[in-house]
Amino acid sequence: MNEAKVKREHLVSPHDLPLHCPPQGSSLWNMHPKVFLPIEEQGQATCPYCGAHYVLDVSDHA
């Protein structure tokens, strides 16, 4: 039986760079190998392990 993947989108601040998934503070049961995601050029990235989608919030200039 195939289970539908839950689509998750995360807004990321430039202060969070370099971006990696899973993010710090994730539960141990939800972990996969840490992978760094190149989000700077296109403003978005998707984790190849869990499918989490990250969007760079460029409105955060502080």
At 1, is the pLDDT very low, low, confident or very high (cuts 50, 70, 90)? very low
- Output the average pLDDT for the chain: 85
- In angstroms, the CA 40 to CA 62 distance is 17
1 in a structural domain? no
Instruction: Of 24, 49, 20, give the one whose Cα is nearest residue 35.
Output: 20
31 in a structural domain? yes
Domain boundaries, position 16: 9-56
4 in a structural domain? no
What percent of the chain has a predicted confidence (pLDDT) above 70? 84
Q: What is the pLDDT of residue 61?
A: 56
Query: Mean pLDDT, to the nearest integer, of 40-57?
Result: 95
61 in a structural domain? no
4 has a pLDDT exceeding 50: no
Long-range contacts of 13-18 (CB under 8 A, 24+ apart): 13/57, 13/60, 14/56, 14/57, 14/58, 14/60, 15/60
